[in-house]
Amino acid sequence: MGIADHAQWDRGFPVRYLLVQEDEDGVERLWGRCAGVEGLFVDPVPLPREVLTLRGCDPTGPLADALAGPDVSGRGLGDLCVEVGDGERPVQWWTLVDAVVVAGLPHPGDPALYDVVLGAGVIVEERFAGPPVAPRFELFAPGAGAGRCAAVDGLFAPRAEPAPVPLELIGCEAVEPLLVGTQRPRRWSGGAARLLVLDRHSAVMASRGVDLAVSGARPSVLGAGLEDITLADGGGDRPPPAVRPVWEHWYRGAPTEPNQWAPYDARGRTEWLELTTRAWRARSDAPDRTGGEHHLDGRFVTDVPGLYCAVAEALVGPGRYFGREWNAFRDCLGGGFGVAPPFTLIWHDSDVVRRAPAGVTAGVTAGPDGVLPLFEEVVRLLERGGVTVVLR
């Protein structure tokens, strides 16, 4: 499907969105084009808080620190990952969101172990049908291991799925078979689709998954020949209202000047990195560039997303993708994303990130060397990959 073929119409307002679906051959098919969308930006529904107990826990790292001292109640752990193994390999992953210690008690069977009562929201990251026959539980806090335990009471409890949040397509010119669906909306569903968001140059700036379950349709407020269509489920990867200014920035066109991400806070910079992923999907098949010098402007690297923004900008240019978190960044260094080692990276004003608060640029665990600040780990990863890093 050619985007340019559908991104224009003879009306007094532009096409801003295309609704498409891939067929079994991977070819995108147009289902509709729209002038507006209401409900694209929504705050996530807060997770219900639950009480869980880590039984027979041998804590390390941040969890051990939280249990040290006489008064442990109320100590926060951040997001705690629970990795469930079957004795041979990990098979399930859960996230205990904003985990807080309620109590730390000696384990009845072994006073050297703990039973740790936590309050947290629970996200199932990945799991099979049920728990393993003899599960093993590993714990990970942000940037470090947190120990292991014999069981986690409450982890496998049934949980209701959150109610879907609708999405309104405003001024939509639907085509078959979506047009048929809008004529009998309560009895029709077309499966999963993608909502392509266009910038003012009619280029795709973002893509979001939606469900084509139409729950309502009516003549559009924007005039004859158009419909306003309600999708019952607008998808779970919608951005929060707080990052709307970043989207408005990108609507003016893909960034061409450096440091345009710098005025935003960490949440806005994170969304900036999300929008660069579309450039990755649309990248050419040109071979990676190697050799030469790249200059990194470190004046605004004050947090983790700012670090990835600055590195990507130095290596492949403004608005381009070169990883948005540690594992993706490491993958990009392996080639296929525009540039590959060997080359020289000159990091100007590197003292800025080194002065950033430790909690803002938290470390990552990288093999036998343990946990280092993220800046040091990035430099070490670059050098191990064949990059000459010059800090100024």
Mean pLDDT of the chain: 87
- 223 and 98 in a common domain: no
For 208-234, what is the mean pLDDT? Answer: 90
Least confident span in 34-38, 142-146, 159-163, 381-385? 142-146
Does 230 fall in a domain?
A: yes
- 224 and 326 in a common domain: no
Contact, 251 vs 41, CB < 8 A?
Answer: no
Residue 140 CB coordination number (10 Å): 20
pLDDT at 28: 79
Contact, 42 vs 241, CB < 8 A?
Answer: yes
Give residue-wise pLDDT tens across range 134-150. 889 999 987 678 999 99
Instruction: Name the E strands within the chain.
Output: 17-22, 28-38, 50-59, 76-85, 90-107, 110-126, 136-141, 144-149, 151-153, 167-174, 189-198, 204-219, 227-231, 293-297, 343-348, 364-365, 371-372, 387-391
For 151-175, what is the mean pLDDT? Answer: 90
CA distance 228 to 212: 14
- 273 and 206 in a common domain: no
- Structure tokens that stand for 282 in this block: 């649309």
Q: What is the CA radius of gyration of the chain?
A: 24
Contacting residues for 7 by C-beta, under 8 A, at least 6 apart:
15, 18, 33, 198, 202
Map tokens 């947090």 to a residue.
303
pLDDT at 21: 85
Residue 349 lies in domain: 243-391
* C-alpha neighbours within 13 Å on the C-beta side of residue 237: 11
Three-class secondary structure of residue 351 per DSSP: helix
> Where do the H-state alpha helices sit in 109-210?
178-183
Dihedral sign (CA 243, 249, 252, 257): negative
* Single residue among 238, 270, 302 that ends a domain in this structure: 238
Least confident span in 33-47, 81-95, 121-135, 214-228? 121-135
The DSSP annotation for 200-253 comes to TTS-EEEEEEEEEEEEEEEE-TT-TT-EEEEES---S-PPPGGGHHHHHHHHT-
Letter for the amino acid at 260?
Q
CA distance 173 to 182: 11
**What is the percent of the chain with per-residue pLDDT over 90, rounded to a whole number?**
58
Report whether pLDDT(187) > 50: no
Does 290 fall in a domain?
A: yes
- 382 and 247 in a common domain: yes
* Single residue among 191, 223, 238 that ends a domain in this structure: 238
Report which of 377, 250, 382 is spatially closest to residue 312, judged by C-alpha positions: 382
- 222 and 146 in a common domain: no
Does 304 fall in a domain?
A: yes
Report which of 257, 344, 354 is spatially closest to residue 298, judged by C-alpha positions: 354
**Tell me, what CATH number does 359's domain have?**
3.30.370.10
pTM of whole model > 0.85? no
Higher-scoring residue by pLDDT: 276, 188 = 276
CA distance 39 to 220: 16
Give, as one character, the DSSP assignment of residue 88.
S
Least confident span in 43-47, 96-100, 284-288, 328-332? 284-288
pLDDT at 360: 62
Q: Which of 53-57, 89-93, 137-141, 207-211 reaches the highest mean pLDDT? A: 53-57
- 303 and 195 in a common domain: no
Letter for the amino acid at 212?
L
- 121 and 188 in a common domain: no
Enumerate the β-bridge partners of residue 228. Answer: 218
Does 158 fall in a domain?
A: no
Total domains, the chain: 3
Does 133 fall in a domain?
A: yes
Three-class secondary structure of residue 275 per DSSP: helix
- 71 and 58 in a common domain: yes
- 372 and 358 in a common domain: yes
Does 124 fall in a domain?
A: yes
- 194 and 340 in a common domain: no
Three-class secondary structure of residue 111 per DSSP: strand
* Single residue among 153, 182, 214 that ends a domain in this structure: 153
Does 210 fall in a domain?
A: yes
Give residue-wise pLDDT tens across range 105-130. 999 989 899 999 999 999 988 776 67
Does 270 fall in a domain?
A: yes
- 267 and 133 in a common domain: no
Higher-scoring residue by pLDDT: 130, 11 = 11
- 174 and 189 in a common domain: yes
- Structure tokens that stand for 166 in this block: 């609708």
For 217-238, what is the mean pLDDT? Answer: 90
Confidence class of residue 363 from pLDDT cuts 50, 70 and 90?
Answer: low
